[in-house]
């Protein structure tokens, strides 16, 4: 991998320990966090903090999610290798890279052109090949669905119906839904063509999911 070093690997091992101590138990998720060189996804002024378990600015008013949050959402997705995953909010591409390390096929949508352009240059260079889409994630990707899992990485004011309809039966939508200033991590599982089961998993803090593109 480009510009990865023993020092980075060491810091990554510590990050994996931290995330495990905070309660992540899925070994395939921990392995993926241990493989993705997060320092290559950071803005230059924050590179030295890459293996801290925190969110950081990535430009355009957006953030790279906290590794624990990425691990938590990924664990809730319950993905199998070769499954087809939709991500809403490509941002830095870090969550997409974690999913790709787990052997999934990733379709990722970003609504901010600046970030969409930037991530498309970076990811293939460091060996990650999701399919990139510029657009409004509220609509999902009807022509590419249904999906084995959908993960939304911005705080949604409500659960978009279009995303529920793009789940396969048995698949999950993992989405932080706004409640006051924070979001409740919510899992919507499609139990049949017409039935959905909803569960909540604690409070998190995300940048807002916005409408349209910019």
Judged by beta carbon, residue 62 or residue 83, the one nearer ligand SAH is: 62
Please report, as ranges, the residues that interact with ligand SAH according to CB under 6 A.
62-65, 88-89, 91-92, 94-95, 109-112, 115, 136-138, 153-154, 207, 209-210
Q: Judge whether 70 and 33 are in contact, CB under 8 Å.
A: yes
Tell whether the torsion through CA atoms of 139, 201, 146 and 81 is positive or negative.
Answer: positive
Tell whether the torsion through CA atoms of 87, 88, 90 and 94 is positive or negative.
Answer: negative
Judged by beta carbon, residue 176 or residue 195, the one nearer ligand SAH is: 176
Which H or E run contains 110? strand 105-110
Rounded least distance, CB 193 to ligand SAH, Å: 26
Judged by beta carbon, residue 65 or residue 83, the one nearer ligand SAH is: 65
Rounded least distance, CB 55 to ligand SAH, Å: 8
Rounded least distance, CB 191 to ligand SAH, Å: 26
d(CA 204, CA 123): 26
Residues with active-site annotation: 65
Judged by beta carbon, residue 87 or residue 148, the one nearer ligand SAH is: 87
Rounded least distance, CB 195 to ligand SAH, Å: 26
CA dist 87 → 9, 50, 195 (Å)? 26, 22, 22
């Amino acid at each position: 991998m480009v510009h990865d070093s023993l020092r980075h690997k060491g810091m990554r091992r510590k990050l994996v320990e931290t995330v495990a101590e905070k309660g992540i138990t899925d070994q395939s998720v921990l392995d993926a966090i241990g493989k993705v060189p997060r320092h290559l996804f950071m803005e230059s002024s924050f590179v030295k903090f890459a293996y801290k378990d925190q969110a950081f600015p990535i430009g355009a008013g957006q953030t790279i999610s906290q590794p624990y949050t990425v691990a938590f959402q990924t664990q809730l997705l319950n993905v199998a290798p070769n499954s087809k995953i939709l991500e809403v909010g490509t941002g830095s591409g870090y969550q997409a890279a974690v999913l790709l390390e787990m052997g999934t096929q990733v379709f990722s949508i970003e609504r901010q052109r600046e970030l969409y352009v930037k991530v498309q240059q970076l990811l293939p260079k460091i060996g990650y090949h999701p399919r990139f889409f510029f657009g409004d994630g509220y609509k999902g990707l009807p022509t590419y669905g249904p999906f084995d899992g959908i993960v939304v990485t911005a705080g949604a004011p409500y659960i978009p119906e279009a995303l529920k309809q793009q789940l396969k039966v048995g698949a999950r939508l993992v989405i932080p839904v706004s409640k006051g200033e924070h979001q409740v991590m919510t899992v919507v599982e499609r139990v049949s063509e017409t039935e959905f089961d909803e569960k909540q998993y604690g409070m998190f803090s995300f940048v807002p999911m916005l409408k349209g593109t910019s």
